[in-house]
Amino acid sequence: MSVQVLDGATILSFVEDDEAFTGSIQERFVLLDTDHNGVLSYAEMLKELQSLRVLETHFGIDVETDPDELTHVYDNLFLLFDHDSNGTVDMDEFKAEMKQMMLAMADGLGFLPVQMALKENSLLMNAVQRESTSLFK
């Protein structure tokens, strides 16, 4: 974890840089696909879904502590990713939905820079790092 400053533009330029964004998504996907069968099961997605929930708390959404309620939230998040409802999330579904979430987040942030505690190798961290390297080009 480290604290970074980012705003909507940081995320937006990252998502629009298709090479950088696709690369990060693929890296993330391979990491989550622990049985290496090329798709993400609910169990494999759970870790990612939990980290998305952590992000939501930054935007003032109430966190339910009731485990049943949380399971329901994760179920719904998984369904969002699983566009064709076949019970697994493939690379295209994963990328499309992560893109939507990043764009929604960029929208929510707007132009006001905020401080966020980011995990190493998270998508947001990649966005920040991409921006700071491109400053020196």
Residues of this chain that bind Ca ion (CB under 5 A): 33, 35, 37, 82, 84, 86
- Minimum distance of Ca ion from residue 52's CB (angstroms): 18
Mapping DSSP onto H, E and C, the string for 40-56 reads ECHHHHHHHHHHHHHHH
Nearer to Ca ion, 7 or 74 (CB): 74
Q: How far apart are the first and last CA of the chain?
A: 26
DSSP-derived letter for residue 3 is: E
- Minimum distance of Ca ion from residue 19's CB (angstroms): 25
Nearer to Ca ion, 7 or 97 (CB): 97
Nearer to Ca ion, 33 or 131 (CB): 33
- Minimum distance of Ca ion from residue 81's CB (angstroms): 8
Would you list the DSSP string of 117-130? EE-TT-HHHHHHHH
